[in-house]
Amino acid sequence: MQIREWVSDFDPNILLADGFEEAIIGVCERFGMESVAAYNRNKCIQILVDRDGMTYEEAEEFFEYNTLGAWVGDRTPVFITTFEPNN
């Protein structure tokens, strides 16, 4: 099963951020609110670097303005910054 199909089976009304399917980590459920798609923020930025040839700084700026800054209502996806310990 592909991630888009899994999310749609979970809730067909969940909005997805186009082009970032590989960064979906699941669905965020909140009491009294609609479920939303949850993405790994770092993977989204890496997708922009790999796919679009941006530098990391360009990708981060683009992501923050065009993706993170795009409010589309209560179904707007969440972008999670994961803890990555220094080894």
Query: Higher model confidence: residue 36 or residue 4?
Result: 36
Residue 71 has pLDDT above 90, yes or no: yes
Taking the model in full, what pTM does it have? Answer: 0.89
Secondary structure in 3-state letters for the chain:
CCHHHHHHHHCCCCCCCCCCHHHEEEEECCCCCCCEEEEEHHHHHHHHHHHHCCCHHHHHHHHHHHHHCCCCCCCCCEEECCCCCCC
pLDDT by residue (tens digit) across 13-66? 999 999 999 999 999 999 999 999 999 999 999 999 999 999 999 999 999 999
